A and B are shown apart, each in its own frame.
Chain A
Amino acid sequence: MSSTPTKENQGHRRKILYLIVGLIIISLPFWISRFGLALSTQIFFLTILVMSFTFMARHGGLVSLAQVSFFGISGYTLGILSVKAGIPFPYPYLLAIIAPPITAAIFGLIAIRVSAIPFLMITLAFGEIAYGTARHWSSLTNGDNGINNIPDIILFGVSFIAAKEPIRFYYLVLIVFVICFWLMNKINHSSFGLAFLATKQSSSRLEALGYPVFMIKYFAFIISALFAGISGILGTTFEGTINPDSIWFGTIMFMLIAAILGGVNHPLGPLVGVTVSTILERYIEPLTDHYRIVVGIIFLCTILLARQGIMGFLETRPIIQRVRRWFGFE
């Protein structure tokens, strides 16, 4: 007997779906290999970085390359305070959380005045400054040598060492990721998020309606820096090292590719993009010396065939739409 599904029915289906996805993610450490676990940990914290990028790009139409610098600023704050200054555990982390938003608050005063290509250029310039500082101010940052022995996180007497306690570290990253993902969704659907979205479509009209366009963009920039910074803390702790190269071109390219591959306009885009590009990178590289060409071709195909990224492409498939309807998603 086939009948039209009721709202209640769909609600149950959704709950079961969430339960299954949640169980898979939570039980991951118990059935996946050590390599897979390290990979998943990386995927989650890199997703936070890409999320901060797509937040700016999707809502404000602002392509901000400075996100990687915020990633680096928190990493360097953490490294300098804990390794070079020897400040004990919680304080370097707390300062590393607030350092990127503070930097964004200062830098945003200049950067937010422009949009589109000039904004991209000015954030690129900011990245260059951050990179140059990391590289050349060697008395502070150790220059090219980088800061190498980042201390471990110890919360309530439990240590979270990425290498020795990979499962604990995975859960730590997972919890932070879930909080960030939830927060990001809340912000996106809040009146602030909607106003930010409107600035992309017509900032002059929004201005005429009495919205403080500059302040909206400004605060969005600060929020995105906060997220990038959180990702930077997790990344630096995971790698145990921060050096100039990790906050420059390679990471910027990764961020851009992951964002575009996954789809800028879908909330799950960053997660999908980071997952696909990380797995591609890790599994194609051992097979051929020219893995960059392979990644490049896949990237090209995505741009040609699915301009909205993987998520955007899937969304328009009839079968996926049917599945969505079956679950009662909008």
Chain B
Amino acid sequence: MMDRRWKIIFLCIMFVGLLVSLPAGVLAGANDEIRIAVGGPHTGFAAEFGAEEFRGVELALQELGGKIAGRPVKLMKTDTKCDASEAVKKFRDSLLRDKVHAFIGPVCGSSGLSIVEWAKDYPDLPILIAYSAPEDVTMRKRQYNVLRPGWTGTQDNYYLGKYVVQEKGWKKIIMIGQDYSFPWGQTHGFIRGFCASGGKKVYKIYHPPNTEDYSSYLLKIRSMAKDYDAVAMNTAGSDAVALFKQFFEFGLDKQIKLFGFTNAFDSTALPTLGDKAIGMISAMHYVEGLEYAKKGMFSKKVIDSWLRFKKAYMAEYGHVPSCPAEQGYVCLMLYARAVEAVGGDIENKKGELLDALHKADMTDAPRGPFVLDDFGHATQNVYIREVQKHDGQLVNVPIKVYRDVTQFTEYVKMKEAYMRQPSASRDYPPGDCSKLCANGLGPYPDGKCPK
């Protein structure tokens, strides 16, 4: 038993520590400081995405010399844990406690959806969604103050679906992915493009995140391999590495083709996947090997702005930037340009600032030029990428580019009909193309197809 005096001393230290920490958290900086909260997961399976996002924001601020429109900038990292209610909690804390002027983030899908609801109550507050990809954030539930210089799962994967049918001739696909909203959104876009281009069937297998042993799923795939053309890997992070390795251990590579959705062959995962990954196809609006593309695919300006970012990033952090890093970078640049457009007076010109954000010129973005559409979402290139080896390193290289892709993909002329479709979920849209119309949309209850 410890001496009673020590007990009291210990508790006193704790109490004093608490008191000391109270004002430190509340202390706001100088009056002209611009405070920006950067929200993303810093713990849990998606922590690397949050870390990359923050690095990108930091790099952008460094390039701007730590100032926007002559005002010093303070970045505040906040951990939203890939949890929708945690995101709301942390965003509210940052707004009320730190009195931030703008938000960058969140990263995870469900967090984006809860934040856009939350944003309704603060219509003057600019929120730049970094990596969160459910299309509803800037579509069915759009808010004028919520902008997304990022992507939607549908935007990127629609063209992957189109590509595998048209160029590869694969019409029956087994999709295996993690069971949460991000992979659901990815599958949603893929099925639309796949079915609209003449695909037949997507068999969906969802596994819980953080699965280590895939043998039961792989056995199932083996038993189905004869009837299907390819397997789509819709998994990310450490799960993707485990699934990829076990796929080869089971010898499935000799029985069926493999390709991936956006994050499956992410630049952070490639070194672990090894040379087996060479030749793997995926699609995204971002590609870290843009400079290795065939000559003539991109203008010099596009390649130059990409290389400038890539070199600066590698000099600072020592590795190839991944997509969330670029997204964070672009978010801060976009905000900085809008703030400069209103002369730095963000306190009094809130409406003008939002307008400026919507109009900001991002034709020199590292990922390739983009503009924001009426809903505040990026209209940009989508790349079909192939893993190649250059200078001894595995990189994704664009082999085909679809330009000026909006979040409505090929439904841009029928926005209203598209938005009447149900949101992406675990079961929607169905994997069986015969249940959808020829254009990839679901029929109305009366059986008629949206036109």
- Which residues of A are at the interface with B, using a C-beta cutoff of 8 A? 33-35, 38, 135-136, 138-139, 142-146, 148-149, 161, 163-164, 239-243, 245-246, 250, 279-280, 282-287, 289, 292, 298, 301, 304-306, 313
B29 CB to closest chain A CB, in angstroms?
13
In the A-B complex, the 9 residue pairs with the smallest Cβ-Cβ separation, listed nearest first, are A163-B121, A35-B96, A246-B85, A245-B83, A144-B180, A35-B97, A138-B426, A283-B25, A144-B181
- Which residues of B are at the interface with A, using a C-beta cutoff of 8 A? 2, 7, 10-11, 14, 18, 21-22, 24-26, 42-43, 76-79, 81-86, 88-89, 92-93, 96-98, 109-110, 113-114, 116-118, 121-122, 134, 141, 179-181, 184, 423, 425-427
Measured CA separation A305–B3 after assembly (Å)? 10
User: Across the interface, which residues of A come within 8 angstroms of B116, CB to CB?
Assistant: 148
Output the nearest chain B residue to A246 by Cβ-Cβ distance: B85
24 contacts between A and B (CB under 8 A): A33-B97, A35-B93, A135-B180, A138-B425, A143-B184, A143-B425, A144-B110, A145-B423, A145-B425, A148-B117, A148-B141, A149-B117, A164-B121, A243-B114, A245-B82, A250-B86, A279-B22, A280-B18, A283-B26, A284-B21, A286-B97, A286-B98, A287-B21, A289-B77
A233 CB to closest chain B CB, in angstroms?
15
Output the nearest chain A residue to B76 by Cβ-Cβ distance: A286
Measured CA separation A313–B10 after assembly (Å)? 12
Measured CA separation A240–B115 after assembly (Å)? 10
Measured CA separation A313–B8 after assembly (Å)? 10
Query: How many inter-chain contacts with C-beta < 8 Å in the A-B complex?
Result: 129
User: Across the interface, which residues of A come within 8 angstroms of B84, CB to CB?
Assistant: 145-146, 148, 241, 243, 245-246
User: Across the interface, which residues of B come within 8 angstroms of A148, CB to CB?
Assistant: 84, 113-114, 116-117, 141
Measured CA separation A312–B118 after assembly (Å)? 39
Cβ-neighbour of B179 out of A136, A145, A283 (below 8 A): A136
Task: Evaluate whether A301 and B114 lie within 8 angstroms (CB atoms) in the complex, with A163-B122, A284-B21 already known.
Answer: no
- Let me know if B93 and A282 touch, CB within 8 A: yes
Measured CA separation A14–B170 after assembly (Å)? 80
User: Across the interface, which residues of A come within 8 angstroms of B118, CB to CB?
Assistant: 163, 240-241
- Let me know if A283 and B96 touch, CB within 8 A: no
Cβ-neighbour of B25 out of A146, A241, A287 (below 8 A): A287
B373 CB to closest chain A CB, in angstroms?
23
Measured CA separation A242–B110 after assembly (Å)? 11
A40 CB to closest chain B CB, in angstroms?
12
Measured CA separation A139–B427 after assembly (Å)? 8
Task: Evaluate whether A282 and B25 lie within 8 angstroms (CB atoms) in the complex, with A35-B93, A240-B117, A243-B114 already known.
Answer: yes
Measured CA separation A35–B92 after assembly (Å)? 8
Output the nearest chain B residue to A132 by Cβ-Cβ distance: B208
User: Across the interface, which residues of B come within 8 angstroms of A301, CB to CB?
Assistant: 10-11, 14
- Let me know if B7 and A305 touch, CB within 8 A: yes
Interface centre among A241, A279, A313, by most B CB within 10 Å? Answer: A241
Interface centre among A145, A163, A282, A298, by most B CB within 10 Å? Answer: A145
Cβ-neighbour of A250 out of B83, B109, B179 (below 8 A): B83
Output the nearest chain A residue to B423 by Cβ-Cβ distance: A145
- Let me know if A34 and B88 touch, CB within 8 A: no
- Let me know if A239 and B97 touch, CB within 8 A: no
Cβ-neighbour of B96 out of A38, A145, A246 (below 8 A): A38
Interface centre among B21, B98, B114, B116, by most A CB within 10 Å? Answer: B114
Measured CA separation A250–B81 after assembly (Å)? 10
A25 CB to closest chain B CB, in angstroms?
19
Output the nearest chain B residue to A282 by Cβ-Cβ distance: B93
User: Across the interface, which residues of A come within 8 angstroms of B179, CB to CB?
Assistant: 135-136, 144
Output the nearest chain B residue to A251 by Cβ-Cβ distance: B85
Cβ-neighbour of A38 out of B2, B83, B92 (below 8 A): B92
- Let me know if A285 and B117 touch, CB within 8 A: no
User: Across the interface, which residues of A come within 8 angstroms of B110, CB to CB?
Assistant: 144-146, 243, 245
- Let me know if A138 and B427 touch, CB within 8 A: yes
- Let me know if A241 and B114 touch, CB within 8 A: yes
- Let me know if B85 and A145 touch, CB within 8 A: no
User: Across the interface, which residues of B come within 8 angstroms of A284, CB to CB?
Assistant: 21, 25
Interface centre among B14, B79, B427, by most A CB within 10 Å? Answer: B14
Cβ-neighbour of A279 out of B18, B81, B92, B423 (below 8 A): B18
User: Across the interface, which residues of B come within 8 angstroms of A38, CB to CB?
Assistant: 92-93, 96
- Let me know if A243 and B121 touch, CB within 8 A: no
Measured CA separation A193–B134 after assembly (Å)? 50
- Let me know if B22 and A143 touch, CB within 8 A: no
A205 CB to closest chain B CB, in angstroms?
32
User: Across the interface, which residues of A come within 8 angstroms of B11, CB to CB?
Assistant: 301, 305-306, 313
Task: Evaluate whether A33 and B96 lie within 8 angstroms (CB atoms) in the complex, with A146-B113, A250-B83 already known.
Answer: yes
Measured CA separation A286–B134 after assembly (Å)? 28
- Let me know if A145 and B113 touch, CB within 8 A: yes
User: Across the interface, which residues of B come within 8 angstroms of A298, CB to CB?
Assistant: 14
Task: Evaluate whether A136 and B96 lie within 8 angstroms (CB atoms) in the complex, with A241-B85, A250-B86, A301-B14 already known.
Answer: no
B185 CB to closest chain A CB, in angstroms?
9
Task: Evaluate whether A142 and B114 lie within 8 angstroms (CB atoms) in the complex, with A245-B86, A289-B77 already known.
Answer: no
User: Across the interface, which residues of A come within 8 angstroms of B86, CB to CB?
Assistant: 245-246, 250
Output the nearest chain B residue to A283 by Cβ-Cβ distance: B25
User: Across the interface, which residues of B come within 8 angstroms of A245, CB to CB?
Assistant: 81-86, 110
Task: Evaluate whether A136 and B426 lie within 8 angstroms (CB atoms) in the complex, with A35-B93, A163-B122, A292-B43 already known.
Answer: yes
User: Across the interface, which residues of A come within 8 angstroms of B42, CB to CB?
Assistant: 289
Measured CA separation A135–B78 after assembly (Å)? 25
12 new A-B pairs (CB below 8 Å) besides A35-B96, A143-B180, A286-B98? A33-B97, A143-B425, A144-B180, A148-B113, A148-B141, A240-B117, A240-B118, A243-B85, A279-B22, A284-B25, A301-B11, A305-B7
- Let me know if A239 and B425 touch, CB within 8 A: no
Measured CA separation A175–B84 after assembly (Å)? 28
User: Across the interface, which residues of B come within 8 angstroms of A292, CB to CB?
Assistant: 43
Output the nearest chain B residue to A34 by Cβ-Cβ distance: B96
B199 CB to closest chain A CB, in angstroms?
23
Output the nearest chain A residue to B183 by Cβ-Cβ distance: A144
Cβ-neighbour of A142 out of B81, B97, B121, B425 (below 8 A): B425
- Let me know if A246 and B117 touch, CB within 8 A: no
Output the nearest chain A residue to B136 by Cβ-Cβ distance: A145
Measured CA separation A284–B42 after assembly (Å)? 15
- Let me know if A239 and B79 touch, CB within 8 A: no
Output the nearest chain B residue to A304 by Cβ-Cβ distance: B2
Interface centre among A138, A242, A283, A301, by most B CB within 10 Å? Answer: A283
Measured CA separation A306–B1 after assembly (Å)? 12
Measured CA separation A260–B21 after assembly (Å)? 22
Measured CA separation A279–B22 after assembly (Å)? 8
User: Across the interface, which residues of A come within 8 angstroms of B98, CB to CB?
Assistant: 286
Output the nearest chain B residue to A137 by Cβ-Cβ distance: B426
Output the nearest chain A residue to B21 by Cβ-Cβ distance: A283
User: Across the interface, which residues of B come within 8 angstroms of A250, CB to CB?
Assistant: 81, 83, 86
Measured CA separation A136–B181 after assembly (Å)? 11
Measured CA separation A143–B208 after assembly (Å)? 13
